[in-house]
Amino acid sequence: MDIDRPAMDAQRARAATTQELRDAFLVEGLFREGEVSTLHTAEDRMLIAGVVPSGSALELSEIEALGPDGLSRREFGIVNVGGPGVVVVDGERFELAPRDGLYAGRGSSLSFEGAGARFYVVGALAHTRLPAARIAFDETEPVELGDEAGAGRRRLYRYIWGGGTVESCQLQLGVTVLEPGAVWNTFPPHLHARRTEIYLYFELPGAGRVVHLMGEPEHTRHLIVANEQAVIAPRWSIHSGAGTARYSFVWAMAGDNRDYGDLAPVPVEDLR
């Protein structure tokens, strides 16, 4: 899997069929046993990858869609959405438990180990090289969001962001975990006019699904999303969802800045 995904503008999305929306914004088949699966989107030139080492180590190698030396111009955020594993960054080994994160600077050499581990990788263009850093899930202080009455109580863990201890050039990344009984994420929704955001939904049961809301506030659309599928949210699109069961998701952003608060809330009454 080595896909170069073109962008779709808001006007075309208004009239798109369900399949056209899925082809443009949904990422399926990202995690394949014993493989590195990659997708490059024209939206802020973000790269995502799913790495499942199984019985042998795997490397993130050059990707045709990026051209020669395309990886050398990118920084990386990594989250382990499977069992324990190891990421080797330029020869240095980092052990990652489930939900742990890792930052690797521009041009890093990356390899992955661990039967049962499932690594999600996000790459963004970077102007300089910064040091690698492991981010432990159980050592990260969450932000409490939502409430039980609105079925949206959740914990947001900021791994790589503008106000954190892990520096990056433009990449922001974290994990959100829903509490028992919660179904909604990122609701009420918002827009990032200066950044693209990508969600990877995980920890959904086999038959579970998330109804992911997207589109312009006055022209909303939706996608039905299964476990370990990702959704690309361009800067003109809201991004929110409700699930049939409890789930978690990795959020990652890249664009003009690293201002985590640089967003535009969308009142529920403005949705159409």
Could you give the percent of the chain with pLDDT greater than 90? 88
- Does residue 257 register a pLDDT over 90? no
- Does residue 10 register a pLDDT over 80? yes
The pLDDT, as a whole number, for residue 141 is 95
Amino acid in the structure at residue 144: E
Residue labelled with tokens 């170069």 = 4
Q: Residues 10-39: what's their mean pLDDT?
A: 97
The pLDDT, as a whole number, for residue 70 is 75
Mean pLDDT computed over every residue of the chain: 95
Q: Is 257 buried (19+), middle (13-18) or exposed (0-12) by CB count in 10 A?
A: middle
Side-chain-side CA neighbours of 223 within 13 Å: the count stands at: 29
Q: Is 176 buried (19+), middle (13-18) or exposed (0-12) by CB count in 10 A?
A: buried
How many residues in total does the chain contain?
272
The pLDDT, as a whole number, for residue 64 is 73
Residue labelled with tokens 């920890």 = 203
- SS3 state at 141: coil
Query: pLDDT grade, residue 39 (50/70/90)?
Result: very high
First to last CA, the chain: 36
Amino acid in the structure at residue 87: V
- Does residue 66 register a pLDDT over 90? no
**Residue range 104-115, pLDDT digits in tens:** 999 999 999 999
**Residue range 235-252, pLDDT digits in tens:** 999 999 999 999 999 999
Residue labelled with tokens 């998701």 = 249
Query: pLDDT grade, residue 116 (50/70/90)?
Result: very high
- Does residue 79 register a pLDDT over 80? yes
Domains and CATH numbers, the chain: 2-270 (2.60.120.10)
Identify the CA nearest to 66 among candidates 2, 121, 130, 128. Answer: 2
Q: Which residues pair with 264 in a beta bridge?
A: 191
Amino acid in the structure at residue 192: H
The pLDDT, as a whole number, for residue 1 is 64
Residue labelled with tokens 């969308």 = 266
Q: Residues 241-266: what's their mean pLDDT?
A: 93
- SS3 state at 228: coil
Query: pLDDT grade, residue 67 (50/70/90)?
Result: confident
The pLDDT, as a whole number, for residue 54 is 87
Look up residue 113 and give its two tokens: 């180990």
Q: Is 34 buried (19+), middle (13-18) or exposed (0-12) by CB count in 10 A?
A: exposed
Q: Which residues pair with 191 in a beta bridge?
A: 264
- Does residue 76 register a pLDDT over 70? yes
Side-chain-side CA neighbours of 216 within 13 Å: the count stands at: 10
Cα–Cα distances in Å, from 73 out to 38, 40, 104, 256, 262?
Answer: 16, 14, 12, 16, 25
Cα–Cα distances in Å, from 23 out to 7, 20, 27, 42, 174?
Answer: 11, 5, 8, 14, 25
**Residue range 148-161, pLDDT digits in tens:** 999 999 999 999 99
Query: pLDDT grade, residue 164 (50/70/90)?
Result: confident
Q: Residues 52-68: what's their mean pLDDT?
A: 84
Q: Is 179 buried (19+), middle (13-18) or exposed (0-12) by CB count in 10 A?
A: middle
Q: Residues 93-98: what's their mean pLDDT?
A: 98
